[in-house]
Amino acid sequence: MLSIRGRCAKRRSENRHRLKVSARPEPGPHPQLGYAASLIDRAAYCRTDDAALAKFADDARAGAYLIGGELVVMKQQGETIDPLFSVAEAQSVGTVRERIFLGLMQDAPRFGFGLDAAAVEQLKLRNDLKITDLRSIAVQGMVGAVHLPPLAEAKAMIGWHARHRFCPNCGASTRVVQAGWRRDCPSCHAEHFPRTDPVVIMLVIAGERCLLGRSPRFASTMWSCLAGFCEPGEAIEEAVRREVLEEVGIVSGRVRYFASQPWPFPMSLMIGCHAEAKSEKIVIDRSEIEDARWFDREELASMLARSHSGGLTTPPPIAIAHHIIRDYVEHGSDVLL
Ligand SMILES: [Zn+2]
């Protein structure tokens, strides 16, 4: 007898054969979700080992990613862009404010160095450096995919340090300990750990139709999943149902987890879900989103394939929304099983 998981997989497989969507995207391996699937071993046990950390910094294979505010500093030689500096190279670029031990990449130590954001603006004058934001790096494929997860780790950590220089408990200046993974308050002795903000992002499904919305920040042709921050004291399923009700007035029933994605803007975790619609009438909260409407599965497939007759699009493959939508196009409402 098949397990529940086995039965779902079988049903999905059968459904895939039944599916007839004319503009279905070409089959093949799914593009990689940006910033996820890190090859870094965080080696957290080394964070309190000063001797090991000193040895790592002196290791000839050691490499550092440089972050300044929202920007990533990379080496550029002609068309070649390299985000990884040697420790000596990184220290020569500018004053390092924070050093984070990110972990080991196939035994090679990796660090994230934080530069002063204002100083990074000055570095833009140098033609041997490429300085841009992490979204552009991922969307344009400027660096190998292997670099995206450690860049995300470094950016989220540097961003956390930038916002936690003072103790939220007593207001005193805090100091960095544990290779960048904690800030301690010398006054009240509080220990502060890096945080991640959970965001639910969901595709609302009603049989062969699903609901997409538009933010005023989007490119004019793009439609995507609804999303919002998970609030304190709230389960993921509750956050999904609340956000959907608030943004478009739809009541949700079943909620199924799909996958998650680190989203270092500045330090979020996107929690991807599919949600079952229990009502149909859309009531848009214009303070949250610009527009929302139902799309049938075939129209959605053409948007994924970039062949929509009206030029409408979905987010690029680096974003989890793309994969949440693709899973529904391929498997239909079975994603809710
Ligand atoms: Zn304090």
Q: Ligand 1 center to residue 188 CA distance, Å? A: 4
Q: Ligand 1 center to residue 165 CA distance, Å? A: 11
pLDDT tens digits, residue range 88-107? Answer: 999 999 999 999 999 999 99
Banded model confidence at residue 31, pLDDT cuts 50, 70, 90? low
Q: Ligand 1 center to residue 177 CA distance, Å? A: 15
List helix spans (H) across the chain.
Answer: 4-18, 50-58, 87-93, 117-123, 134-139, 148-163, 236-248, 297-304, 320-331
Q: Ligand 1 center to residue 174 CA distance, Å? A: 7
> What whole-number distance in Å separates Cα of residue 116 and Cα of residue 326?
40
Q: Ligand 1 center to residue 34 CA distance, Å? A: 36
Q: Ligand 1 center to residue 192 CA distance, Å? A: 9
pLDDT at 212: 98
| DSSP state for residue 32 in the 8-state scheme | P
pLDDT at 32: 72
Name the amino acid, one letter, at 311. Answer: G
Q: Ligand 1 center to residue 236 CA distance, Å? A: 31
Q: Calculate mean pLDDT across residues 100-119.
A: 94
Are 129 and 141 in contact by the 8 Å Cβ rule? The answer is: no
Among candidate residues 178, 205, 206, the one with its CA nearest the CA of residue 192: 178
> What whole-number distance in Å separates Cα of residue 337 and Cα of residue 261?
22
pLDDT tens digits, residue range 57-83? Answer: 999 999 999 999 999 999 999 989 999
Q: What is the pTM of this model?
A: 0.88
Q: Ligand 1 center to residue 185 CA distance, Å? A: 5
pLDDT at 118: 82
Query: 3-class DSSP state for residue 14?
Result: helix
Q: Ligand 1 center to residue 189 CA distance, Å? A: 6
Q: Is 316 left (phi over 0), alpha (psi -120 to 50) or beta?
A: beta
pLDDT tens digits, residue range 248-306? Answer: 999 999 999 999 999 999 999 999 999 999 999 999 999 989 999 999 999 999 999 99
Q: Checking DSSP bridges between strand 108-115 and strand 63-68, what pairing results, if any?
A: parallel
> What whole-number distance in Å separates Cα of residue 303 and Cα of residue 221?
10
Angle between helices 320-331 and 4-18 (to 10 degrees): 70
Task: List residues bridging with 182 in a β-sheet.
Answer: 177
